[in-house]
Structure 1
Amino acid sequence: MADPFTLGAVGGVVLSEAIKFLYGQAGELIKLRREKRVKKTTTDAQVFATPTELQEPDPELAAHFEPDLRELRHALADYADGVDPVETSDRALIDAVGALRNILEIVYHRDLTLRGESRQTANADVTGEARVREVAGYVAAVRAGRLVSGSVRGRLEAERVEAGGEAIGVDVDSVE
């Protein structure tokens, strides 16, 4: 979830433009996934702290997040179209923008911090793989205590898991 003190602090104009970009990018991602092609997009230097080119979204993550992308696009449609005013104090709006941004950051493996936003970015990209014959205790391809942002993939292959054994692809205590 987005921190209202970071997104809400950027100002209505930047937030409005960011909503339009994120909303449009989510729609493009859904279309591109359906058409199985890639389109390069560059973020706007007036809106984002570090303009960057978005290309080659992770197809598995895009598929996984498609229902969320659709839901968040619907929640932001009237703001993106200018029907409803963008209020930086609107917690539901800030949360929806933050959630959409987080998904796009994960799918594109890119930071999308807004200009004027002070945001600690610790976008992790973690992949773990474990192949074992027998599991008598505990084994995980990835084990993390707390995740704030980024993407995590774990793949575990076990020929046999004994009674009481645990074989886990990704084991995370908390996601924020």
Structure 2
Amino acid sequence: MTEPITLALVGGALLTEGVRFLYDQAGELLRRRRERRDAAPTREPVAIELPAEVFDGQLVDPVLDDARLAQVEPALRDAWAQTAGYAQGIDPVEVTDRAALVRIDQLRVALEAALGQRITFRGEQRESSGVRITLRIDELWGSARTVDVGVLKGDLVIDETIGRATGDIVVVRADRIEN
């Protein structure tokens, strides 16, 4: 998890608007999960535009994967419930309240896990919102390719940890990269 202290640098008004947005998005994903619980899992594009006055950067062609959503649902549901007071204006968001910052960060992290992309507040000391790839290979015999796409849009951050590998590793292969 991100150190929630980075959220303290954002400011109360921005955090208040941001937690409302994150809370609403989490609620939409939880409703979708409830409605599709018995359906075959799908991967579908979702239209989520981060408010530019609150967040740094944009999500890049976000896709909602029902299987991934099912995995993160417990954490997303808990974080959504824990931030309800802030999102609905009942409890003020104070940048000095570490417990509030942790709850807001947990909501953000759960949404990031569901969408597979970073969500960064404006003014936060963190990479911009967008695509992130985390790769961990303990041991590899042969070859591995983690991302193989036609067009890669936006910024991409890759964190990789590779232990013992015998063979070829291609982290990203793209026909074209667009920013």
SS at the partner of 1:124? Answer: strand
TM-score normalised to the size of structure 1?
0.65
2:101 to 81, 88, 94: 94
Native 8 Å contact 1:54 1:110 kept in 2: no
Shift of 1:58: 2.4
Where in structure 1 do 4 or more consecutive aligned residues deviate above 6 Å? Answer: none
Letter in 1 for 2:26: A
The residue correspondences of 1:60-75 to structure 2 (distance < 5 A) are 60-75=67-82
Alignment partners' CA distance in 2, 1:35 and 1:60: 14
Alignment partners' CA distance in 2, 1:89 and 1:52: 28
Alignment partners' CA distance in 2, 1:13 and 1:47: 9
Give the structure 1 partner of residue 133 of structure 2. 124
The residue correspondences of 1:125-164 to structure 2 (distance < 5 A) are 125-126=134-135
CA RMSD of superposed structures (Å): 3.1
Letter in 1 for 2:66: P
TM-score normalised to the size of structure 2?
0.64
Letter in 2 for 1:124: I
Alignment partners' CA distance in 2, 1:4 and 1:105: 15
**Which ranges in structure 2 are unaligned for 5 or more consecutive residues?**
37-43, 145-157, 161-179
Letter in 1 for 2:72: F
Residue-by-residue CA offset, 1:35-71 (whole Å, 9 max, x unaligned): 3476412110011110336632222221111111111
Does the C-alpha gap of structure 1 residues 29 and 54 become closer, same or farther in structure 2, counting only changes over 3 Å?
A: farther
Shift of 1:26: 0.8
SS at the partner of 1:10? Answer: coil
1:50 matched to 2:57? The reply is yes
1:59 matched to 2:66? The reply is yes
Alignment partners' CA distance in 2, 1:108 and 1:119: 18
Alignment partners' CA distance in 2, 1:86 and 1:12: 6
Overall identity of the aligned pairs, in %: 37
**Which ranges in structure 1 are unaligned for 5 or more consecutive residues?**
133-140, 142-149, 153-176
Give the structure 1 partner of residue 34 of structure 2. 34
